[in-house]
Structure formats: C-alpha cells, structure tokens
Structure 1
C-alpha cells in the first residue's frame, strides 16, 4: 500500500509541482498585501494634512474627477478611515468590465496624486498570477486541478511520513550536519510534516474559488441550500445632480456603523438598483468582515442593510474563508504563520524533485562474485 501511495505522491507532485511553486510564492506575498502596499506606496493611502485645514466634500471631489475624466463613469469610491487618508476613485469606460482606472485624490487640496490602470498594479498582477496564472479561465482550470492534486499530495505525504516507534525521533527533527541527500530529505519530510495542517486548510479553502460546487457545498452544509444571488434592492435614482448626495451617504454610513473601517461606495450596473456601501470593520482582529448598507442614488436616502451579524450561517462562514485562506483570521500571528508555511510549501516540490532525482541516480549494488576454491573444483 505504501508503494502505491508513494507512486501517487511522486507523480501527482511532478504533475503539479511548478504550479504549486507559483501559487505558493504569490500567495506568500498576498498574505501581507495591505501592509506592503502601505509600506512601499504610502502616497496611495495618506497625505500631509495642512494644519487647521478641512477635508473637501466627497461631492466636490467626485465632481472634480468627473470633470477631469468626462468619458468615464464611476465604478466605486474607496475611503480610508484615517483623517489624513486619500480618497480613491475607480472609473470605468462604457460597459467594459475590468480595466478600471484608479484615480487617487488629496481631499485637502483636491489634487489628483496618482493615476494608473488598476490591472497594471503590482498586487493585482500577483493576485491574477495566484488565481489564474495570468491566463484567464484556462489558468483557473489549471490552478484548480493543481490545488486539488495538492490536497491529495498532502494526505499521501503524511501517510508516507508516519514513522514506526523506533524512528519517531528521527522523523521529527532535521539533521543539519548530515549529507546533502539526507538534509534534503529532512527538509522535505520534516518541514512538510510541521506545516501540513496549515497548507491542507489553505489548499482546501482555495477550492472554494476554483469550483462552484465546492462553494455551494459550503452553503448546503450550513444553510441547507445553495448560495443565493446577492443583488442590491430595487431603488430608482432621483434625477438631478448625480454627486450631490455622496456626503449624506458617507455620514449616514458612519452614523449607523460606528466602528473604524474602510468604506467602499459601489455604483450599480443597473440604474434601477440601489447604491451598495460596504464598510470593513478594522476594529476587529479578523479581516474581511463587512457590513453592507444600501442607499438611493441621487438622494442618499437609506434603503436597507445586509449586516454580517444578521447573515445566514453559510454566508458568515463563506466570509470567513478569505481570512482563513490568507492568514488574516487572528491578525499578525496567523499572518506570519501563513507566510512561513506558504514559503515552505513552495520549497516542497523542489526538495521532492531532488529526492526523486537522487533515487534515480543511485548506483546499483554490485553483486558479490562467488569464487569457487581450487579444492572444491578439484573435488
């Protein structure tokens, strides 16, 4: 049985190894996406607020951006919680999906401080590489299959690692002063054992994005039915100045949701639907917890809400999949753990390949030549 499992572990590893390396390395970067962006591009998120200055209204900023880019329509607006934060507009041209134009504004001076195509940003490219290998739907199929194989590889690897009583201590630690061949085996087997729980959960949760049936299985388990389509409630916009109501929406959002958080105002594709405003609770240690409010376009009148606490169990669990997958479940400790484990996971196909090459190059044992003594030959 172990020979069969070993054969399965080897060939599934060879088949998916390169993709696993790419996905694991890109995933390790995405663990600290927010922190790294704030570190290396702080101007995208904060400005120098002049002493005694007041922020411009969101309506005025939106009007300024509209005047600068009259051929574009607003897709969404992102407002950071800090007083000295920027306001970022994401614009789209016509009915094209994707290819958003990112426009960062200084809310004190009204100046545009940064403009770029959203899909050209570093972490957007990394995320595209992580999910699609930068190959669209074809890449999604490849990463989905490789992720599925990796789940099997982890289970088979644990079975192969499982020691006998007299070798348990040997399987639990790396012998750093050993030969390269032995050290490489330890790096593969011992490190693989220590991270197997984390990478198994990471791979398993990754399947939620790869396959719709896995996503629906989650909702069947907790709600007894597949995921319902989420759409903003119907609300015909009030005709007139399209941006005169944004400050009202922002103020009421902060009044209803009093915690600190990033606010995202998303405009509907269908005019007869309400505007969706999401606020991510940054006071909580777990990332990606969002409450949603709906407002009427043109007037800013409150239409309804979709709060995390009132969601179905399936929706709540689905929301938690993202922080579990990315290590944001308990803040920095789980992020550091996820970062280390994904780096080690990226090394496993390499060390595993070297183990296989080492076995192939192993010299065959020479058979001992049997000599017949002179005496026996005479006899």
Structure 2
C-alpha cells in the first residue's frame, strides 16, 4: 500500500509541478497587489486631498461617468477608499452591446471627478498598467478565463488529495521484530518511539550530500508548511471549482443561502425602480436593522452591486462578523424595485461552513493579521516553488537510477 501511494504521489506531483511553480511565483506578488501597483503607478492610484474639501460620493461619481461611457453599466460601486486613494470602477457592457468595452476598469479622482486612467483589466498588451492584473489572471485562471479556472480547479482538487498522501508518506514505517532475542532485549535496546522516528522526517541532514539535502528539504519542507499548503489547496477549489467545494462542505457543515433561489428575469432589468442613490439609502437602512437584530458592529461600507439579471441590489459592509476589516463580506440583498429584503449573509457566526470558508479565503488572500500575514503568504509562494523544484529533482534522480539498473540488467 505504501509503495502504491509513493507512485501516486510521484505522478500527481509531476502533474502539478509546473502549475504550482507558476502559482507560487505569481502568488508571491499578488500578496502585495495593492502596494505594488501603488508603487508602480502612483499617478492613477493616489490623489492629493484638497484642504477642507470632502470627496464626491462614489454613487455620484458613477452617475457623472455614465455619460462618458453610455455603452457600459456601473453595476459595482466601491464605497470605501482612503483619503489619498483614487476611486476605481469596474464597467460591464450593456446587454446587446456585441462589441464589448475597450476599457472595463477606470480610476477617478474623488475630489474633482477627473478621469485618471482606464484599462482593460488584465490585458498585458496595454503595457505595465496591466502587469499586476495580468499576474492575477495567471494565478487564478492561467489567463484563460473559464477554461483556465476549470483546469486550476481540478488541479487544486488533486493537490488537496496529494497533501494527505504526502503527509502519510512521511510517517515512519512499522518496525518488525526479526527475532525472539531482539524482542527480549527490546527494553535494554530502547528502540526509537514512533514519534521520535517521525521527528527524523522533520529535519534536514545538511551534511548528507546534495541528494539527501534535496530529499530532506522536500519532505521536511512539506511537513512544516503542510497546514498552509492544505489551506491553499482547498481554498483554491473554493475559488475555481465551486460545484465540488460547496457540495462537499455542505455535507459536512451548515451553510447559509444567499440569493441562489432567486430566479433570473426573462429580460434584464436595465431601469430599476430604485436608482443607485435610493438603493444606497435602502441598503444602509436594511443593514442597520440587521446589525441591531444580530448584534454586530458595522466598521465601514464596502460595495454596492446591481444584478440586472435578477433585479436585485446587494449592499456589502465590513463588520465585526467579518474575519478582518480588509475582508468585507457582510451583505444584504434586496429587490431593486421595491427595496424588499430578500437575503442576508453573515460571514461568521451564522453557519459553520461559511465561517470556515471565510477563514480559508482570507488566509489564502492574506486579508488577516496585516503585513506579517502578507509577508508570510508571499514567502509561502517561494515555499511552493521550492517544494515543486525539489520534487522534480527527486524524480529525475530516481529515474536516472532506474534507467541505470535497466542498462546493467541488459548488459
């Protein structure tokens, strides 16, 4: 059985190696996505706040920009930004617009309404303005959108399985008593306990030669990083293979529904009864009622979404129910015509499955514990790369050895 798992681990590792290398390298940069893009492009990420002037609301800015982009819909409005940050908007092509949009993300000065930059998010042909978004696309979809997400989702599922196989292979094999005399003298010989023998797998024999050092780095590195590797693997399934992740989690843990049962309209609702300003007012009121009923504190509002296909608004805030203030997922959904509340979502404390999922996603994206976690996740990217490289080197060495044995037999 152990040898069977060795073979499975070998070929799963080889299948995953190239993709994990790519994910490790790109993930190291993505952990500092906002910081790196601000460093590279302060001209459209930062603004100088005028003295004694308040920022224009994001909803008002969206209304002002609608005239400039008549073929686009401002369905996602970011409601929270620092005083010296530009406001970003993601644009969606209106139904019937067969040509699409030349730009789907724009940056605006929130004090003057001045357009600072526009880009087709992730299109590397537009130059350095899309370098970080392109790395993001590589990391999450191989820059192949739905096809890439499916491929990475399946690979993430295999990675999850391989995490357990790899951990099993580090466990010490059972010791066999070879003689009655050895059994009789066992108390005097004091053989290693199971845990003491396993401890060898956690260490690196730095003086054992290059092959042993490489093997120990792979085995010990996998053990020391195992918990976070499993977090990355299973959360990647959550990101890219939702049809597998949520049914599995749903059989083990409770989960909230959030609008899944709301049917799509026969025709998109392009002119809802509530405009963005009225929707924002309604969302604030509903969220305030929810916070009083469920006894949580609201830190700041985050986003306002409009789904024309279902005719609903979703108002999202960061609250004490979120795993951190950087992870805003407390939400209320309501009818875009009547303002009737349709669904609520509490990231933690309402359903165990949702709480676990929120923690997994927050750990994966370094949205908890501030800068130390960002550094750790960035370093983990290098760790994933190292484990992949050492694994391939182990396979090459053993392959060479097997080839040499065959040659000797033939001789």
* TM-score bracket for this pair, using the shorter chain length: 0.7 to 0.9
On the 8 A contact 2:255/2:354 being kept in 1, the answer is: no
**C-alpha distance in structure 2 between counterparts of 1:261 and 1:24, whole Å:** 33
Q: What is the match of residue 188 of structure 2? A: none
3-state DSSP of counterpart to 1:338: helix
Q: What is the match of residue 153 of structure 2? A: 144
Is 1:213 aligned to 2:213, yes or no?
Answer: no
Is 1:106 aligned to 2:109, yes or no?
Answer: yes
Cα deviation, 1:218-270, whole Å, max 9, x if unaligned, reads 1232238988606599998338xx56647756876897777443521222214
Gaps of 5+ in 2: 124-129, 174-191, 292-296
Shift of the 298–168 alpha-carbon distance from structure 1 to 2, 3 Å rule, reads closer
**C-alpha distance in structure 2 between counterparts of 1:366 and 1:104, whole Å:** 64
Range that drifts further, 72-81 or 217-226: 217-226
**C-alpha distance in structure 1 between counterparts of 2:80 and 2:91, whole Å:** 18
On the 8 A contact 1:131/1:140 being kept in 2, the answer is: yes
**C-alpha distance in structure 1 between counterparts of 2:45 and 2:205, whole Å:** 47
Deviation at 1:288, TM superposition (A): 2.5
3-state DSSP of counterpart to 2:244: helix
Of residues 264, 272, 291, the one that matches 1:237 is 272
Q: What is the match of residue 158 of structure 1? A: 167
Gaps of 5+ in 1: 368-379
Larger-Rg structure: 1
With normalisation by structure 2, the TM-score equals 0.72
Deviation at 1:351, TM superposition (A): 1.0
Shift of the 322–188 alpha-carbon distance from structure 1 to 2, 3 Å rule, reads same
The 5 Å alignment of 1:39-188 reads 39-58=39-58, 60-95=60-95, 101-120=104-123, 121-163=130-172, 165=192, 168=198, 170-188=200-218
Q: What is the match of residue 20 of structure 1? A: 20
The 5 Å alignment of 1:194-205 reads 194-205=224-235
**C-alpha distance in structure 2 between counterparts of 1:161 and 1:108, whole Å:** 59
The 5 Å alignment of 1:351-370 reads 351-362=390-401
Q: What is the match of residue 375 of structure 1? A: none
**Superposed CA RMSD:** 4.0
Cα deviation, 1:94-133, whole Å, max 9, x if unaligned, reads 2269966212111212211111112434444333322322
On the 8 A contact 2:49/2:111 being kept in 1, the answer is: yes
With normalisation by structure 1, the TM-score equals 0.78
